[in-house]
Structure 1
Amino acid sequence: MTAQNGIAIAITLLISLLLARPAGLYIAKAFQYEPTGLDRGFGWLEKPIYGISGIRKDNQSWKPYALSLLLSNCVMILIVYLIFRFQGSLPLNPSHAASMEPTLAFNTAISFMTNTNLQHYSGETGLSYLSQMVAIVFMMFAAPASALAAAIAFIRGISGKPLGNFFVDFIRGITRIFLPVALVAAVVFVALGVPQTLDPAAVATTLEGAKQEIARGPVASFLSIKEFGNNGGGFFGVNSAHPFENPNGISNLLQILLMLLPGTALPFTYGKMVGNAKQGRVLFVSMAMMFIVLLGVALASESAGNPVLNASGIQHDQGSMEGKEARFGMAQSTLYAVVTTASETGAVNTMHDSLTPIGGLVAFANMMLNTVFGGVGAGFINVLMYAMIAVFLSGLMVGRTPEFLGRKIEGKEMKLIAVNLIISPLLVLVPTAIALFAHADTLSNPGFHGLSQALYEYTSSAANNGSGFEGLGDATPYWNLSTGLVIFFGRYFSIIAMLAVAGSLAVKKTVPESSGTFRTDNALFGTVFVGAAVIVGALTFFPALALGPIAEFLTLKP
């Protein structure tokens, strides 16, 4: 990697750092139920919505909050499923896209309603403009708003406050955060050359005299919320490697910043809402250190490339450009791959199937840990879960009942957390084993890399990421149904379990701080937090990784 690439990456991360704190404080202010200056700016939009829908700002306990989230999301899934099934007969379909096959519509509806955006269809031909705008873009606002609402309710609960009202939080997430940022970003993307049109595909005549259709559409409005909402699905099949979806270096920079912004902002939101800014800073620094280490490993691996033989039979390494977009180069492609898996986004400007084994291992690690910033909401809940595990382990070591934010973490909370820890590997490893046994014919590589393809698909599904090792033949009923179910349970089981933890802690009495209280706002806690996340993740998934990317790496070594 050249010094110029290093400077470019450093500038990108520095800009992200400068944006994180003010964005986090703004999010905290947006979800205050007390009157704020934001009410004047957004009240004109929110009041009619509350009036028509009959929503009141009554606080909900954790069960009604979780039920409201789950049922509203399920209703949205059903609506967009029907749009996909009948899109061939609906208007705004200039490319004459056919109605989706049932299992594909099932997978796509669940995938986009859960921030996963796993795409088993071709972006250019699989959806009509109506499906892209009314179904896909709608869900790309609703999904992150639901996740962010859950994260805010969780923060309120563990700090001893009422959880709030899901529908109020959901609406505020859209009107005060996602819609304004997405609108501004869409205008910027249009200025950078991203198409925004309802015209059909352009027809061009090639030098040989043949006719060529060039797909286009309302891409800019799609792209902005795709990135800022940590959604990741592409308007085009090759996602952000397409020149219409990512025309130049500035658009690439903006996409990276949009992906990072929610996850880097939420620690500061947390610190503000719990009344201890240091706690938010400790979590931010801990996650940033993990991110930097993993980014460094990926850059080193992709810079070295895979071992090859020259004419003299001497082995040497070359930088890996296989599967990467030449406009961005190795460094920016690798940065994008690490950011998209760390932020739960899943957008790609390079094909992850062509990453070196260690580069692919970093993508796996980001999704399996799900604590390296963690995305727009559900990921940050996971971060706080590991923070509680760190406190619990520390309490056991000194023989003291663990306390988090002044409330005792007891058996009920740890049982819920333990079940939540178990469900993720079950959703990943069991379906992977079944796929390798019964559907190995869908893998494009029979070796260790083939195992990685199947493992990545389910890891990406369970972590609500959506990127994939695209050598996999996943456009089949088996993969549509199995990944759809993994996505659904991976999303909602985790959120509901952790809302139950928040509900339990919310009603507990505050324990006065004493000299024996394990502080959660210093470097020691940050170290224990990172250790807990890495050790638990390593113990859970290391055997599978050893049979996939690690084994592949060892077979490539001289």
Structure 2
Amino acid sequence: MSPVLADVLQVSALIAALALVHRPLGDYMARVYSSTRHLRVERWIYRCVGADPDAEMRWPAYLRSVLAFSAVSVLFLYLLQRVQDKLPLSLGFKPIDPDQAFNTAASFVSNTNWQSYSGESAMSHVTQTAGLAVQNFVSAAVGMAVAIALVRGFTRARTGELGNFWADMVRGTVRILLPVSALAAVVLVATGAIQNFAGFHEVHTLSGATQDIPGGAVASQEAIKDLGTNGGGFFNANSSHPFENPNGFSNLLEIFLLLVIPFSLPRTFGTMVGSAKQGYAIVAAMGAIWFAGVVAVTVTEFQHPGTAAQLAGGAMEGKEQRFGEGASSLFSVSTTMTSTGSVNSFHDSFSGLSGGVLLLGMMLGEIAPGGVGSGLYGMLVMAVVAVFVSGLMVGRTPEYLGKKIGPREIKLAACYILITPALVLGGTGLAMALPDGKEAMTNIGAHGFSEVLYAYTSGSNNNGSAFAGFGADTPFFNTTIGLCMLLGRFLPMVFVLALASSLAKQTPVPVTAGTLRTEKPLFTGMLVGAILIITGLTFFPALALGPLAEGLA
């Protein structure tokens, strides 16, 4: 079978699997967040944190709960890293340096999982499992909770109440993320991923040398790092490591886990607002952008000359032979468009134009399909903007799902959109203006600039992947990227929850002959166009200095 045909079949199988679970998983998540019943284990958790799961919250209270829980999580994870040498299963590792401990705590709590360290040579088993893996669950659940709060803004009327954060977060963890990741971990173990608490094993290489390789609870962390669009791998090589991603089947499974919840949440949205077609319009916009990215990167990588292209069929530098160009391209687009950051190849070795597509996927706001929860609320904010622009074009008051989009709503949406560009471009400009930034570049010219731009784009968009040649483990980058991760995660939530409250307070307006039909393909096209235009106007100059200049050279 030719490599091209194999890659086409692989993408087709992935799309079929996602389509198969879209409806049942989406409806199940809608039932989870709409239920009034609490499981016994959930009641125990509520008692431990002192929360009343039945108390409705207005958006300031919901936001305070998000921020308080996240602040405590940052502090706990920071302290755990600083004292890991005094805890069991330390493997002899020293405490993590303060700046790197802050960066890692900010990274995992913000669902970014940017790693400026080598996990297998720095983090103990307790830090990996009780710290990093736990945050993989709860940080993903926080994003889902905020997305559901925004959906409730569309479904409720004449009230500012958006539900209960503690109930939403606990249910997302217990009823969705835990069972699915447990099943995925079992399958990963069956494919060859490891799962143990072993120490270092001395092995002999083919060249006759020796190498120490650690064990660890890898499969369980691998499952939730992909399912929760987290991305932090047990090993520094991430999903290119055979202990994390042994073969082609495990690779396809991990891509499926990256996409399954973000692509199913639009169904949850459609079910909760009472119109499945509204969910189909959103998922169609997500799917169109994602598929275009897959095609662009795959074609570019197959056509790139690379090293010994006549033997490899394309550019194989930085890619695993067991995956090839097609599976590596599919993984790279899926991980950069889902706020994940997990990698099975090194993006630094991709061609200039391919790197530009991966950057653009993050710059879009990671909404195609985006992170768990964050992708849905990001896409709904863009839908609000698209409705507003459409209303101006036809001279009518913009309405979306029976809610008027007025000055307050569009101001909140605009603030949401402007946060990430300010962090990305401001951080990149600061780094390039100071010696610390230029010293971390391992390449000169356009590619070196792309490394810095990619780092701040990844951190500010809560992705976590990196151009591997970039030396980010310095106090300057650990601190500035750490701040970008926290601000890029929690500032947008302020405007999302405020927007949800503004919508929930309205009285729904009836549908008339002049109402824009937002479930039609025309609106889907307008939504995609609005996303591309807004992103293009914002980031094109930076892309022109980096990946476009490199690709066209």
TM-score (norm 2): 0.96
Q: Secondary structure of 2:203's match? A: strand
Deviation at 1:409, TM superposition (A): 1.1
Deviation at 1:307, TM superposition (A): 7.5
CA contact (8 A) 1:268 1:277 kept: yes
Alpha-carbon distance in 2 for matches of 1:481, 1:265: 35
- List aligned pairs for 1:475-490, cutoff 5 A: 475-490=473-488
* Equivalent position to 2:48, from 36, 39, 52: 52
- List aligned pairs for 1:521-536, cutoff 5 A: 521-536=519-534
CA contact (8 A) 2:30 2:268 kept: yes
* Equivalent position to 1:329, from 324, 327, 338: 324
Q: Which moved more, 1:26-35 or 1:535-544?
A: 26-35
Alpha-carbon distance in 2 for matches of 1:19, 1:503: 31
Does residue 92 in structure 1 map to residue 63 in structure 2?
no
Equivalent residue for 1:33?
A: 35
What is the letter of the counterpart of residue 84 of structure 1? Answer: Q
Alpha-carbon distance in 1 for matches of 2:389, 2:225: 38
Equivalent residue for 1:349?
A: 344
Alpha-carbon distance in 2 for matches of 1:308, 1:92: 43
Deviation at 1:206, TM superposition (A): 4.5
Alpha-carbon distance in 2 for matches of 1:106, 1:431: 18
CA contact (8 A) 2:307 2:316 kept: no
Deviation at 1:209, TM superposition (A): 5.8
Percent identity, please: 43
Alpha-carbon distance in 2 for matches of 1:21, 1:277: 10
In structure 2, runs of 5+ residues without a counterpart are none
Q: 1:318 to 1:151 in 2, by over 3 A?
A: same
What is the letter of the counterpart of residue 17 of structure 2? Answer: I
Alpha-carbon distance in 1 for matches of 2:209, 2:125: 26
Does residue 271 in structure 1 map to residue 270 in structure 2?
yes
Q: Secondary structure of 1:235's match? A: coil
Q: 1:206 to 1:519 in 2, by over 3 A?
A: closer
Q: Which moved more, 1:17-26 or 1:426-435?
A: 17-26
Equivalent residue for 1:77?
A: 74
Equivalent residue for 1:228?
A: 227
Does residue 365 in structure 1 map to residue 360 in structure 2?
yes
Does residue 116 in structure 1 map to residue 112 in structure 2?
yes
Q: 1:270 to 1:208 in 2, by over 3 A?
A: closer
Deviation at 1:31, TM superposition (A): 0.5
Q: Secondary structure of 2:242's match? A: coil
Q: Secondary structure of 2:34's match? A: coil
CA contact (8 A) 1:307 1:318 kept: no
Deviation at 1:155, TM superposition (A): 0.5
CA contact (8 A) 2:104 2:113 kept: yes
Q: 1:188 to 1:205 in 2, by over 3 A?
A: same
Deviation at 1:51, TM superposition (A): 3.3
What is the letter of the counterpart of residue 523 of structure 1? Answer: P
Alpha-carbon distance in 2 for matches of 1:466, 1:205: 33
Equivalent residue for 2:438?
A: 440
After superposition, the C-alpha distances for 1:84-114 in whole angstroms (9 at most, x for unaligned) are 11112222112x1110111100000010011
CA contact (8 A) 1:305 1:318 kept: no
Q: Secondary structure of 1:121's match? A: coil
What is the letter of the counterpart of residue 224 of structure 2? Answer: I
Does residue 399 in structure 1 map to residue 422 in structure 2?
no
Deviation at 1:208, TM superposition (A): 6.4
Equivalent residue for 2:247?
A: 248
CA contact (8 A) 1:196 1:220 kept: yes
Equivalent residue for 1:468?
A: 466
CA contact (8 A) 2:307 2:317 kept: no
* Equivalent position to 1:138, from 128, 131, 134: 134
Q: Which moved more, 1:454-463 or 1:82-91?
A: 82-91
After superposition, the C-alpha distances for 1:502-548 in whole angstroms (9 at most, x for unaligned) are 10110111111111111111111111101100100111001100111
Alpha-carbon distance in 1 for matches of 2:337, 2:48: 39
CA contact (8 A) 2:304 2:314 kept: yes
Alpha-carbon distance in 2 for matches of 1:184, 1:293: 31
- List aligned pairs for 1:475-554, cutoff 5 A: 475-554=473-552
Alpha-carbon distance in 1 for matches of 2:499, 2:207: 65
Alpha-carbon distance in 2 for matches of 1:49, 1:412: 37
What is the letter of the counterpart of residue 429 of structure 1? Answer: L
CA contact (8 A) 1:306 1:356 kept: no
Deviation at 1:401, TM superposition (A): 1.6
After superposition, the C-alpha distances for 1:460-504 in whole angstroms (9 at most, x for unaligned) are 111111000011110000000010000000000101111101101
Equivalent residue for 1:170?
A: 169
What is the letter of the counterpart of residue 487 of structure 2? Answer: F
Alpha-carbon distance in 2 for matches of 1:307, 1:349: 18
Q: Secondary structure of 1:2's match? A: helix
TM-score (norm 1): 0.95
What is the letter of the counterpart of residue 32 of structure 2? Answer: A
CA contact (8 A) 2:85 2:94 kept: yes
What is the letter of the counterpart of residue 33 of structure 1? Answer: S
What is the letter of the counterpart of residue 390 of structure 1? Answer: A
Deviation at 1:330, TM superposition (A): 0.7
Q: Secondary structure of 1:203's match? A: strand
* Equivalent position to 1:319, from 314, 322, 345: 314
Alpha-carbon distance in 1 for matches of 2:355, 2:239: 18
What is the letter of the counterpart of residue 31 of structure 2? Answer: K
- List aligned pairs for 1:410-421, cutoff 5 A: 410-421=406-417
Does residue 291 in structure 1 map to residue 290 in structure 2?
yes
Alpha-carbon distance in 2 for matches of 1:529, 1:296: 20
Q: Secondary structure of 1:259's match? A: helix
Deviation at 1:418, TM superposition (A): 1.2
Deviation at 1:212, TM superposition (A): 2.3
